[in-house]
Structures are given as structure tokens and as C-alpha cells.
Structure 1
């Protein structure tokens, strides 16, 4: 019994697709993802509205509380201050990496509706997020401040 060529290519194609899907599923289960996107560990003990502020307002200085949390969670972790998520970096090497390798990620300011309204759609240099507009305005301001002619 002979099968037509189109039937054999269809069956072979289906088999190859199923084999690739099966292998990808095995790799995903074993944690061998091609791109790993790990988040910093979240510190426990936050309250619903105030987050971890209750830990920082005690009799101990905040740097000691954060140091103890760094001993528990590692050199980089996140806490909640009110409704805002805050990244805490307690290692010199990690801080250097943040400000050299990933400097553009940390260069901008957080956007909010209040700063958008007060700064006329982020037109003020002090409240503008990092980007092309901020760099151009900074150049103009620096030229006016440092190279202005005195009359």
C-alpha cells in the first residue's frame, strides 16, 4: 500500500512540530529558558496600605533595619513604601553595576499625573523624564548658565 507524497509530507511536518513543542515544554519545565527575567526578591512583612514603613519607623535607625533585611534577602531586594515598590541595593558591586552598566534604566524620574500637570506635560527640566527632550533642554540650560555674556 502506497501513500501519496503529500500525505507523507503532512505527517512528517506534524511529527516535527510536535517533537519541537515537546522539547520546548521539557526545557521550560527544567528552567532552561532562553531568556531569564528574574525579579529581585520581595521582602516579607509588609502591611496593605503602608507597606514596610512600620519597620523603618521604629527605635532602630533605618540603615540597620535595611542591613538586617539585606542579610536575610541578599544584596538586592524590593520593599514597599506606601504604594510604591522600592529597589534596595546594599552591595557596592551591585550599586556600581546599577550606575554604570544599567545607568539609563535608573536615570529617569517616576511619572505621575501630578508632575505631568505641574510641569506642563513634563516641559520643566527638573521634572522631565530622561530622554531626548531632557538632553536637549539640559544642553541649552548649560550653555546659558556657563557661557552667558555679562552686560
Structure 2
């Protein structure tokens, strides 16, 4: 019994001494300054409840927060933090000067599986591979020549969609239905 008490006392004294030494000689790393966190976040969903109002679009809600907290602030998007930048000068600095910091992706199981082990452009992390794929995507998909070459496809899709909506609307109007059009399981009310 005495041996157990002395062993417990030894563990407690050793733990207290190590805490004392750590607090006395340990120097914290440089504290990273982060932008202010917008108030009103709930524990699990964060600020998502602020963006559910269909009468107020997302950019208007973020604009109100920017008016209150300044041109750069953070919000909680669920349990993750997201930086919101509403100043063009700061956005340019984030995307040009400090692009390595902001172009990193969150590593998750979903992006690993859907992105073929992070090989997909949208899920790949910043590095040599990302730069090579970005060059190819910008050259092959988003060049002026390619956009002009595929212009007829976009025009055809838009005109087909408008024609289908109009046909649904005229069919509903003839049958005396409401001003509700159902196109591919989505409702559009006029």
C-alpha cells in the first residue's frame, strides 16, 4: 500500500515539475495573426444559417458582414474556417503574391477517391503537377480560340433549354394549370 502511494506521489511530482519547466523555458512559436472571425457562428454549422435566406443572395449577406468586419474576415463554413476578402487590392495580393498559401487544397477521402488520388485538376495540391495541369487546362479549354470554336455548342444548349421551357409553359397554359414549369425535376415558378 505504501509502495503504491509513493509511486503515485512520484508520478504527480514528476508531472508538476515537467509542467513547471515547460512553462518556464518554453517559448511559443510566432503567433499567426488571422483576420477577425465574424460573430454569430453556431457550434457545428458555423455561419451557414446566415446564408439560408432566399430573399437575400449570398453576396449580399457577405457584403453586410464586410461592412461590419472590414475588407478581410473569416467565417466558419460548418466547422472549417474560410477567409472572405472583399477588397480588390487584397484579393490581388492573395491570388498573385501569396498564391502558394491560398491554392492549397484540403486533403480528404472524398477528393482522393473522386479525384483519382488527387490527380484531378480541382483536387490536386499546389506544386509542379498542379502548374503543368493548369497550363494545359488554360491553353486547351479556356483559350480564346477554343472558346470561340465551341461557341455553337453553348448557343445550341441555351436555345434548346429556352425552347423546352416555353413548350412546357404553353402546355400548362392550355391545360389551365398554374404558372409552374417542371423541367428535369426542377421547378420554376412565374
| TM-score, reference length from structure 2 | 0.50
Per the TM alignment, residue 108 of structure 1 is displaced from its structure 2 partner at its CA by 3.0
Q: Is structure 2 residue 127 aligned with structure 1 residue 125?
A: no
Q: Is structure 2 residue 89 aligned with structure 1 residue 93?
A: yes
**1:57 aligned partner:** 52
Query: Tell me, what secondary structure is at the counterpart of 1:114?
Result: helix
Question: Whose radius of gyration is greater, 1 or 2?
Answer: 2
Distance 1:143 1:73, change over 3 A: closer
Q: Is structure 2 residue 101 aligned with structure 1 residue 105?
A: yes
Per the TM alignment, residue 36 of structure 1 is displaced from its structure 2 partner at its CA by 6.1
**2:20 aligned partner:** none
Structure possessing the higher relative contact order (Cα contacts under 8 Å, 6 or more residues apart): 1
Distance 1:141 1:69, change over 3 A: closer
Which of the residues 23, 38, 42 maps onto 2:37?
Answer: 42
Distance 1:117 1:66, change over 3 A: same
Which of the residues 72, 77, 91 maps onto 1:76?
Answer: 72
CA RMSD of aligned residues (A): 3.2
Matched residues in 1 for 2:63 and 2:139: separation?
43
Per the TM alignment, residue 83 of structure 1 is displaced from its structure 2 partner at its CA by 2.0
Specify every segment of 5 or more residues in structure 1 that has no aligned partner in the other structure, as ranges.
1-34, 147-151
| TM-score, reference length from structure 1 | 0.62
Q: How many residues align?
A: 117
Residues 89-148 of structure 1 show CA distances to partners (whole Å, capped at 9, x for unaligned) of: 0111111111121112222332212111333321333421121232345567789999xx
Residues 7-57 of structure 1 show CA distances to partners (whole Å, capped at 9, x for unaligned) of: xxxxxxxxxxxxxxxxxxxxxxxxxxxx66311100110112211111111
Distance 1:141 1:92, change over 3 A: closer
